[in-house]
Structure 1
């Protein structure tokens, strides 16, 4: 909220529902003079400093459901000039006192809501606190949730976590292998959260150089061929300068090692943005050997193509093969030659985007 203070006069609505807000934070909230809607539901506020918000002379709607606010503080709201609606279900006001409180507030309407014993609220998804996704060794998994008493369950194989079979997250949990981590929050009396997910990449063998045999598009050339071996994961902004984009050319990149390495898998990190014509590759190949002119095909993978337009997402394509000791690897990824009939750009060429390749 201190950051929001820089634009405090521009904010008219503030949603702090289920955030770690306490009485000590209310003096910060009171510095938003044009606030008209404020949601403090399911925070840790009490009666103590609620009166500070009386400075908000434009405030019309206040939500304090699920807090420890009592009848005493609610009665004081009668002096707030613009306040028209208060949402106060599951507060400390007993049902026997609600009519009297409503009468004391006059034209300010109080929504007492319903009995929460029969209604379940949905938990927010766990927060993934890991900054690094690329592992050169074991890495600690960092998950958190702001609501006390929440159990976070996780999986490392891409499957959906459940509240019984999936392990419960504890501080110090380590990840040793590459894979898709999924986490979900559970708490008695609440609906389980949506899934948070993050792919952790393992990179055992770091190439010394990357050589572009065919260049990427000039608009999406990243930092050159070495972009795919710099261990810097990009986000879904394909204009960030961290992606290589291919359309007219296939991706053909030669990776070299200072000495032969026993390689058994290559993971190609890509993104899919169907609305921007960025699709999975039509075909991905890995070639290997100990001389750049004498490489053999190690594996071919044909990604599944989307059947409809969906939001953009990141995708990892892992090609596994029998262990080969090689000093050179050639990666080939062929963009879609014609977008499908259901696509708005049907018949046009598709793009293929890559930010990293990981060798194990």
Structure 2
């Protein structure tokens, strides 16, 4: 009898230790789009008994002291970074999953772009339809380019005062898709004359894993007022040495442009 009790105690201890060393998977984040007009409706899911999802929206890392997720979360504000994890007694908390959401900018009438690659034309209004692409570059929300320089001439429904331009682009280096190495903004006056306003450089060749959408924000040194602006993205023309495609031209993919 004592021997049987000892065996049961050992098995129970092993189960507890095994559970303590088991790390939970991150919660699933469900949403219609990363872009919203008034608010974004988000659902966090994790189906494991005796566990809970915790999240933050202020940029801090979540913990079991953070807010517990309800069935739906409604996000508001110009830009919201949602961070969430799964946790439960006797388990190692999951890794943090991060998703960034953005309020849509001024209403855009049209965007004239450089020619896309014929394989990845996207949809007609995919750059200002408030629909975000998935992690797959095959998603029709993404437009794909293989040229050195890609331009976007943006026309507003009515004249606007502009202070920030935001691009949402795809990075998937395994598929030869890199961030742009630079982005420039030009004002366009009523006579169609273009004037360079500002540029930013991006460390586009730093090695990263996975396929993720990235926001590229360009803040202007002065407010611009007008009906049109032009955005020019410089693609990575030579993939770096650490990549299998070293020396070849990288792809550039984009699904949305917002102007504020």
- Give TM-score, length-normalised by structure 2: 0.84
1:207 CA displacement: 0.4
Aligned with residue 139 of structure 2, among 240, 243, 255? 240
Partners of 1:262 and 1:326 within 8 A in 2: yes
Matched, 1:196 2:73: no
Per the alignment, residue 262 of structure 1 pairs with 161
Partners of 2:204 and 2:236 within 8 A in 1: no
Q: 1:289 to 1:159 in 2, by over 3 A?
A: farther
Q: 1:228 to 1:275 in 2, by over 3 A?
A: same
| Higher RCO, Cα 8 Å, sep 6+ | 2
Higher helix fraction: Structure 1 or Structure 2? Answer: 1
Q: Deviations over 1:170-199 (max 9, x none)?
A: 456431122332211222322101222322
Q: Deviations over 1:34-72 (max 9, x none)?
A: xxxxxxxxxxxxxxxxxxxxxxxxxxxxxxxxxxxxxxx
Q: Which aligned runs of 4 or more in structure 1 are off by greater than 4 angstroms?
A: 95-99
- Give TM-score, length-normalised by structure 1: 0.62
Q: 1:292 to 1:96 in 2, by over 3 A?
A: farther
**What is the rounded CA distance, in whole Å, between the counterparts of 2:210 and 2:33 in structure 1?**
24
Aligned with residue 182 of structure 1, among 59, 74, 83? 83
Structure 2 unaligned runs (5+)?
none
Matched, 1:207 2:108: yes
Aligned with residue 338 of structure 1, among 238, 241, 246? 238
Q: Mark the structure with the bigger radius of gyration.
A: 1
Per the alignment, residue 81 of structure 1 pairs with none
Higher strand fraction: Structure 1 or Structure 2? Answer: 2
How many residue pairs end up in the alignment? 252
Q: Deviations over 1:304-327 (max 9, x none)?
A: 224336222221212223443331
Aligned pairs for 1:231-310 within 5 A:
231-291=130-190, 293-308=192-207, 310=209
1:202 CA displacement: 1.3
